[in-house]
Structures are given as C-alpha cells and as structure tokens.
Structure 1
Amino acid sequence: MFLHGNPTSSYLWRNVMPYLQGKGRLIAMDMIGLGDSKKLDNTHESSKYTFALLEALGVNSNVTLVLHDWGSGVGFNWANTHRDAVKAIALMEAIVTDFPTWDDFLKDLHGPISTLRSAEGEKMVLDDNFFIETILPATISRQLTQKEHDEYRRPFINPGRIAVQF
C-alpha cells in the first residue's frame, strides 16, 4: 500500500511501482484532499477515509506500507491499529518521533510554519500554490520535467483547491 504525502498524489509512485510488479498486490491511492480525491473541509478525515478504503479492498494481512510525508502519519496510525496485518514499512521524508509540545518541534521550522498559519501564509498556499510551485521543486534532487510539474499542479489549478493542506 503506497501512501503519498503533501502536496503530491499517487502519481509520486509511477516510477517505483513498475519495479514491484509481480511481487504482490500494488495499491496507490490519492490521499483524501490531494490528487484527484475529494477535497474536504479539514484534514482530520484522512485516516478515516484511508482505513475505510483498505477495509473495502480487503487489505488485512501481509501488508507492506510504503509511506511518504503526510501519508506516513496515516500509515503509521493504520499500522499501529492493525499490527498483525503489517509485514513491513518503507518510508521516505517521514517524521518518526512525537513532539509532545510545540516547543519540542524542530525549532528551525517554527518561523516557516508560523508564517504558513498566518494571513500571509494563507495567500501563499491558496493563491500562489506555494507547495507545488516552491516547496516541491526545492525538495527533490533533480529538476521536474514540465509534464511532471503540470501533473502535480493539475489538481490545484483553481485557487483554493489546495485548502485542505492549509
């Protein structure tokens, strides 16, 4: 089960999944609020929707979770509540520790996160598509092709469609 993070979609796994063909059932969903999925008013629904999909698909044993960013939180939650079903977990860009308080969180990120939670940040996210136009290209090791960048932009072409992230 492949669970992507923010601000990507199941498209993230397009170059990984071919290497795993024939090794088991491969499932890559768009996390709720991202990609082609339904957009919600809040992100607290992510686990509920993911858990329901996995149950509907009969994903209940010998599961390898492949997790990225936002998908890691949901995936770790599912793994914790379905321990007997999990065979393995592979992850990238996942936070694997807890932060009991804001003061325990990475101090270098306090400023940027506070900015994103301000009126200025709301404009950056909702109007300027900050995650797709700035963060995504800056956090990968190569330049996105025009086709790739356009695919990551596509679900958020209309301003405000990225609101679930904010």
Structure 2
Amino acid sequence: MSAVPSVHVTARAVVLRNEQILLLRYDRPRPHYNLPGGKAKAHEGLADTVVRKVAEECGLRTEVRGLLFVEESLPAGRGSDPAVHHKFECVVLADVPDGAEPPGDGPPARDPHGGTPEWVPLTELTELPLLPPIQERLLAALRSPLSTGIWHRVEEPVR
C-alpha cells in the first residue's frame, strides 16, 4: 500500500497599482522575488489565506477579485522522500481598497521571513528572478478576459 501523498495548497496574490505589481524581494540565499502569499492553514479558504498573508508580509489590507491560474509543483527527483511535497499554488488577483494603503510610496512592513515589499513596474517583471518563474503565465493571465471568472467557493455541510 502506498503512502498518502503530502499535498500543500498555497495562495499567492497579484496586487496591482498604477501599472506596478507588489512583490517581496529577498536578498538571501541569492537575490530573488516572490509574490506575497503562502500556505493555507487548516480549514482556511484561498481568499482568507491571501488576505492574511498580504497583511502579514506587506502590511496591506486586500480584497480578492478572482483566480488567475493554478500552478502545480511536483519537484523532480521526488522519489519516496516524505519531505518533498506536491504543491498547488493558486495565484489570485487582489485589490488594495482605496485608502487602505499606508502613506508613502509603498508598503512599509517587512515580511517576517525577511522579504522586503516593493512595487515593481510590470514592464520589468520578465527581467526579474521571480520564484517560481511564472512571469509569462502571469502576464498572459492578466491580459485574458476570462482570468477572474472561474473560481467558486462551496461550503460543504459537516457530516
């Protein structure tokens, strides 16, 4: 009998403002960027995960508009190593409501994991070391008129 796979669900936010995207910049172990977001807690929906993680990492209140795409990650060489996880990363479009952003040019908070929130021009996105490297898929999803209409949350009754 095979073991039950370990599956992680994460939610990442695409927050846009004036043709800029909100990213977290990390300088270690090597310079790279991530979309704000992270792993969902038990019994936490994707929208709730995004709102919580953007607040924790960037100090901003957000409202989720819809799903852009889902990225599945199953690392090469996974074999039977229980430490290697099958991951579904849900990338959602989120807005910062009017008046929700702190004064100044951008978010003042520092991510508890060491990242620095930055507003980056969308025109520079393809040149950045974004992890995972989803720049092209992200830009294509933002251009698609269907990109935010395919996510439905269903509350299942407790049995």
Shorter-chain TM-score above 0.5:
no
Structure number with higher helix proportion: 1
Structure number with higher strand proportion: 2
TM-score by length of 1: 0.26
